[in-house]
């Protein structure tokens, strides 16, 4: 078929020969579905205060399926540019951290490493626990020597934690290396965004070599999503995991989790027999 969209040199683009191939047809349907979904989401979020609202009608894409595509793409591009400008503006916090500009507190790791300068205001804004620790009106007096010790973190882990608190992100190699320590710290100091950040990484990188670690950390932090995902992964790969050296070291330290693995495996086997 001479597709009027994907062919390099379509011969005829006027009715009744302006046909398209199956792939382009399905692609166009997907684009229209996406546009209608975006329009619908915008309409739900819009207020009814003005009839001249900037939000389009949810039927606009249905009336002109692809006519507004370029306009929507350009609008999304403008939003992206604006968000990048805002991100660059907020990156000033990272500069203040790296260059130690007007720091007023030190965080000390638990391995007797050197303390790291930071800013009280940012710590208080990122964590309710840090806020209470630094609040002179709280139950505890603020640190008198301008130093807080985080005994569960070594120097590199503490530095990675602070880098995330200042920037909202972390280099992939640092995240890979410290994800479990950071997830525990996020749970202890109530930093939800860091918890979600670490959780997404653990879910996306789950494999035979780390699934037992993920299961263990999910149990410590009472994370249901992580735990269920890890258990399901173990059940699907039961033989490889249970007969590994890592499981031999894992089982004596985590008897209750070993019981849960066994139960999950038997329940899965039962369900498969019923559905067979």
Q: Are 159 and 141 in contact (CB under 8 A)?
A: no
Indicate if the pLDDT at residue 269 is higher than 60: yes
Shared domain check, 75 and 23: yes
Q: Are residues 199 and 99 in the same domain?
A: yes
Distance CA 98, CA 62 (A): 51
Domain count, the chain: 3
Confidence tier at 54 by pLDDT (50, 70, 90):
very low
Greatest distance between any 2 Cα atoms in the chain: 83
Tell me, yes or no, whether 99 lies in a domain.
yes
What pLDDT does residue 13 have? 55
The predicted pLDDT at position 60 comes to 46
115 assigned to some structural domain: yes
140 with 177, same domain: the answer is yes
pLDDT, residue 2, reads 64
Residues 183 and 226 in one domain: no
Residue 65 has a pLDDT of 56
Q: Which of 43-57, 72-86, 168-182 has the highest mean pLDDT?
A: 168-182
Q: How far is CA 265 from CA 207, 208, 234, 257, 272, in A?
A: 18, 16, 8, 12, 11
If you search the block for the tokens 């203040």, which residue do you land on? 96
Task: Verify that 199 and 239 share a domain, yes or no.
Answer: no
Say which residues have a Cβ less than 8 Å from residue 187's Cβ, sequence separation at least 6: 195, 220, 221
pLDDT for residue 171 is more than 60: yes
CB count in 10 Å sphere of residue 90: 12
If one compares 93 and 64, the residue with the highest pLDDT of the two is 93
226 shares its domain with 122 = no
- The percent of residues above 90 in pLDDT, for the chain, comes to 51
What is the tens place of the pLDDT at every residue in 19-39?
778 787 787 788 778 777 777
**pLDDT > 50? residue 58:** no
Q: What percent of the chain has pLDDT over 70?
A: 81
Sheet holding 116-118, edge to edge: 116-118, 105-109, 147-150
Q: What is the pLDDT of residues 83-106, one digit of tens each?
A: 888 777 777 778 888 888 888 899
Phi-psi region of 124 (alpha: psi -120 to 50; beta: other; left: phi over 0): alpha
Q: CATH number of the domain that 248 lies in?
A: 1.25.40.420
For the chain, give me the number of helices (H) and strands (E)?
Answer: 14, 3
pLDDT of residue 49: 47
Looking at per-residue confidence, does 75 or 249 come out higher?
249
pLDDT classification of 135: cutoffs 50, 70, 90: confident
For the whole prediction, is pTM greater than 0.75? no
Average pLDDT over residues 45-60: 49
Going by pLDDT thresholds of 50, 70 and 90, the confidence category of residue 176 is: very high
Considering the domain architecture, whether residues 114 and 214 belong to the same structural domain is answered as: no
Contact 189, 148 (CB under 8 A): no
Domain that holds residue 162: 91-205
């Amino acid at each position: 078929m001479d597709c009027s969209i994907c062919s390099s040199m379509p011969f005829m683009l006027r009715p009744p020969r302006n046909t398209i191939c199956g792939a382009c047809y399905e692609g166009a349907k997907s684009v229209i579905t996406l546009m209608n979904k975006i329009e619908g989401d915008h309409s739900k979020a819009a207020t009814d205060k003005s009839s001249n609202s900037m939000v389009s009608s949810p039927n606009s894409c249905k009336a002109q399926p692809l006519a507004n595509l370029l306009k929507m793409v350009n609008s999304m591009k403008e939003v992206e540019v604006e968000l990048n400008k805002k991100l660059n503006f907020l990156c000033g916090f990272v500069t203040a951290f790296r260059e130690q500009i007007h720091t007023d507190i030190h965080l000390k790791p638990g391995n007797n490493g050197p303390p790291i300068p930071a800013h009280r205001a940012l710590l208080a804004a990122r964590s309710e626990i840090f806020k209470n620790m630094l609040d002179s009106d709280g139950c505890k007096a603020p640190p008198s020597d301008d130093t807080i010790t985080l005994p569960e973190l070594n120097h590199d882990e503490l530095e990675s934690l602070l880098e995330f608190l200042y920037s909202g992100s972390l280099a992939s190699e640092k995240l890979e290396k410290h994800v479990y320590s950071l997830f525990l710290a996020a749970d202890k100091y109530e930093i939800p965004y860091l918890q979600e950040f670490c959780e997404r990484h653990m879910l996306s990188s789950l494999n035979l070599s780390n699934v037992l670690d993920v299961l263990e950390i999910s149990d410590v932090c009472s994370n249901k999503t992580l735990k269920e995902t890890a258990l399901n992964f173990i059940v699907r790969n039961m033989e490889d995991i249970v007969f590994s050296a890592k499981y031999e070291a894992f089982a004596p330290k985590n008897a209750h989790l070993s019981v849960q693995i066994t139960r999950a495996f038997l329940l899965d086997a039962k369900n498969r027999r019923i559905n067979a």
